[in-house]
Amino acid sequence: MRLVALISLSISLLTGCALHNYGDDQFQLRMAAHGKDIMWVPTRIDTATQMLALAQVKSGDIVFDLGSGDGVIPIQAAKRYGVRAVGIEYNPDLVALSKRNAIRENVQNLVTFKQGDIFVEDFSSATVLTLFLGESLNLKLMPTILKMKPGTRVVSNTFRMESWIPDQEVSVRSSETTVGTLNETIYLWIVPANIDGTWEFTGLPSLDKTAIRFIQKKQFFDGTINTSGKRSIAFEDGRIRGDAIQFDFEVNGKKYSFRGQISGAQIRGVLNGDSKLPVVAKRL
Ligand SMILES: C[S@@+](CC[C@H](N)C(=O)[O-])C[C@H]1O[C@@H](n2cnc3c(N)ncnc32)[C@H](O)[C@@H]1O
């Protein structure tokens, strides 16, 4: 289904090439049939700007586009938000085109285009990562992405990442193609901090010092509260958004909600939104 989406998107873009005029007098879309792992199919400018808006790009961000084609996403990031942006692209002709495009848009001081393989180059300094690569390439990148700094925003045009449920998705446009209506969706993931394991919590009601075992699945987790000898308390549906953590639990029939921040091996927060009920935890 997704492959059909990419093929029909490619056909509609390639046949509409003259209309959209991707490329310049030195290099055009029709010349770039082969990328390394996927061919060049450009993201439209309006979709690129919606991807950057979904990532909530702000001053100080560093945007990386993996497989950057003609550079549309890094160039729009620099143009609209004044941030630094980097494109990694395998095809040297596209790297050269991107550099010419950056000069035309007068953002050459903010953008860098690097010829290289996205599976070799380092993009760990990105605070925003953009992708238009296909689901299997997204999936291949996923283990590296999950090790990036918590809070890194990842936005993908059209393609998901299988088992990693997006934090948000937005339908940006639908268009008529030779194989029917193509709905274009963009997806956002926020790299979650890693909390999997056992933590010692201080400040929980009628439990005080207690161990909680978190079982994490990407941005979701379940937990078990060890109540020293008594029956342990299980809870579900905990959420992590970057460094922010939240979970709800019940002790002696009373409901509590915890909201806090993860900072390496420490978690700090409050119960029920009450600053007089502080809770801290350290990783065991
Ligand atoms: C579908 S296009 C997307 C281009 C651009 N990101 C955009 O959204 O307009 C994918 C791009 O990835 C490049 N590419 C494919 N495999 C690559 C690899 N292993 N390393 C770097 N670039 C690659 C292709 O040459 C192509 O330009």
The pLDDT assigned to 183 comes to 73
Contact 193, 242 (CB under 8 A): yes
Closest approach atom of ligand 1 to CA 67 = 12
The pLDDT assigned to 16 comes to 42
pLDDT at residue 158 tops 50? yes
Q: Which residues pair with 278 in a beta bridge?
A: 270
The pLDDT assigned to 1 comes to 47
Q: Which amino acid is at 261?
A: Q
Digit-coded pLDDT (tens) for 233-265? 999 999 999 999 999 999 888 999 999 999 999
Digit-coded pLDDT (tens) for 192-225? 999 999 999 999 887 778 999 999 999 999 999 9
Q: Measuring CA to CA, how many Å separate 268 from each of 45, 77, 203, 235?
A: 41, 34, 10, 19
The pLDDT assigned to 227 comes to 77
Rounded to the nearest whole angstrom, what is the distance from the C-alpha of residue 69 to the centroid of ligand 1?
5
pLDDT at residue 80 tops 80? yes
pLDDT at residue 15 tops 70? no
Q: Whose CA is nearest to atom 18 of ligand 1?
A: 117
Using CB distances shorter than 6 Å, the residues near ligand 1 are: 35-38, 40-43, 65, 67-69, 72-73, 88-91, 94, 117-119, 132-133, 157
- H helical segments located in the chain: 2-15, 17-20, 45-54, 72-81, 92-104, 135-146
Rounded to the nearest whole angstrom, what is the distance from the C-alpha of residue 214 to the centroid of ligand 1?
37
Mean pLDDT of 29-45: 85
Q: Whose CA is nearest to atom 26 of ligand 1?
A: 40
The pLDDT assigned to 207 comes to 79
Confidence of residue 19 (pLDDT cuts 50, 70, 90): very low
Rounded to the nearest whole angstrom, what is the distance from the C-alpha of residue 37 to the centroid of ligand 1?
8
- The 111-115 sheet, strands edge to edge: 111-115, 84-89, 62-66, 128-131, 153-157, 180-190, 168-177
Rounded to the nearest whole angstrom, what is the distance from the C-alpha of residue 174 to the centroid of ligand 1?
22
Which domains does the chain possess? 2-190 (3.40.50.150), 197-283 (2.40.128.20)
The pLDDT assigned to 229 comes to 66
Q: pTM of the full predicted structure?
A: 0.91
Neighbours of 59 (CB within 10 A): 7
Candidate from 13, 36, 101, 138 with most ligand 1 atoms within 8 A of CB, to mutate: 36
pLDDT at residue 84 tops 80? yes
